Copies of this chain bind each other. A is one copy, B any other.
Amino acid sequence: MSHKKLSITGTFLDEISHDINHQNWGEAEWEKDFSAMKSIGIDTVILIRAGYKRWITYPSSTLINQEGCYQPYQDLVAMFLRLSEQFDMQFYFGLYDSGNYWVNGAYEKESALNMKVIQEVWDQYGDSPSFGGWYFSHEINRSNPGIIEQYAVLGNFCKSLTDLPILISPYIDGKKALMAHESSLTKAGHISLEQHHREWDEILSQVKDAVDIVAFQDGHVDYHELLDFMKVNKQLCDKYGLAYWTNCESFDRDMPIKFLPIKWDKMRLKLEIAQAAGVNKAITFEFSHFMSPNSSFAQGRALFDRYKEYIDD
């Protein structure tokens, strides 16, 4: 493997998914996929969220009793931790997304609920040697006092329990910042580079003590705009002492079917741009659906082959 190339060393685990169809894997299939991750050097897995609305990943008495969430049939957090230990990976726990409170401005309620979840999870799973960090699953694109305060509250709470790193993965409010169910491919009124710089300078100045790693998503601006945005992100992360990772999306935002695996050339270009911008680490959303030899999509299995050829070259 060439040491010159930026390679993917982390992936999200998209359970519970917002918008990506489930592959209906059981534990045997997940074990096989962790093995495939390991084979290309993935050392970090990030649970996208503890739950979304009523569907949750682990039998949380908080969420079941307080929010009416469904009792899960399987403890995915326990399973992912077991597999992380088996394959010597670090596991980041993604917070619960109510799909409700914070969306409607009730940030304090979202925070209070998640503090209970964090405490519960830390009590229950915190002694796993693979429990490696927290992921704040409430995505942000623009400056927003409510979410910044939420980050601060939750960051302080996590750090009161443990000094594990805290990861966020914001997106740029670029021309491709659309919801998956929207039929259009381009957003009107997207942000300029200068405005992005200004707003994220403000945001990071306020959350710098609450988070440790910022992994900007790389799919919301056009490919020829990406280097400039990444340079700004890098400069701002450096300014505030934060690690800058790239969240290199392995699904294709440019096509009517939302979403199938990305064209390899696009992913390669984004990795090369990220490397030029000086990112510290590349993770992807996400390996199992979109670039795994076990993917349900043949295009994803082929993406794995192309990626391997590239990285092994």
Contact = CB atoms under 8 A, between A and B. Distances in A.
Interface string A10-49: 0000000101111111100100000000000000000000
Contact of A180 (B21, B25, B224, B256): B256
B255 A20 contact: yes
Looking at chain A's contact residues, is the secondary structure mostly helix, strand, loop, or mixed?
loop
A72 B181 CA distance: 31
A296 B296 contact: no
A204 to B, nearest CB: 30
A263 interface: yes
A73 B306 CA distance: 12
A261 interface: yes
Nearest to A289: B299
A156 interface: no
Interface in A179-199: 180-185
A50 interface: no
A305 B255 contact: no
B223 A22 contact: no
A263 B22 contact: yes
A269 interface: yes
A262 B261 CA distance: 19
A21 B72 CA distance: 32
Interface in A52-101: 54-55, 68, 70, 72-74
A263 B22 CA distance: 5
A74 B25 CA distance: 35
Contacts of A259: 256-257
A158 to B, nearest CB: 28
A303 B296 CA distance: 12
A252 B21 contact: yes
A205 to B, nearest CB: 34
Contacts of A223: 54, 70
A254 to B, nearest CB: 9
A148 interface: no
Given A185-B181, A268-B73, A23 B302 contact: yes
Nearest to A182: B183
Interface string A287-309: 00000000111110011011001
Contacts of A20: 255
A261 B257 CA distance: 13
Nearest to A298: B296
Contact of A296 (B74, B180, B297, B309): B297
18 contacts: A19-B255, A21-B260, A21-B261, A23-B299, A24-B263, A24-B303, A26-B306, A26-B309, A54-B223, A54-B224, A68-B224, A70-B223, A70-B224, A181-B184, A183-B183, A256-B258, A256-B259, A295-B298
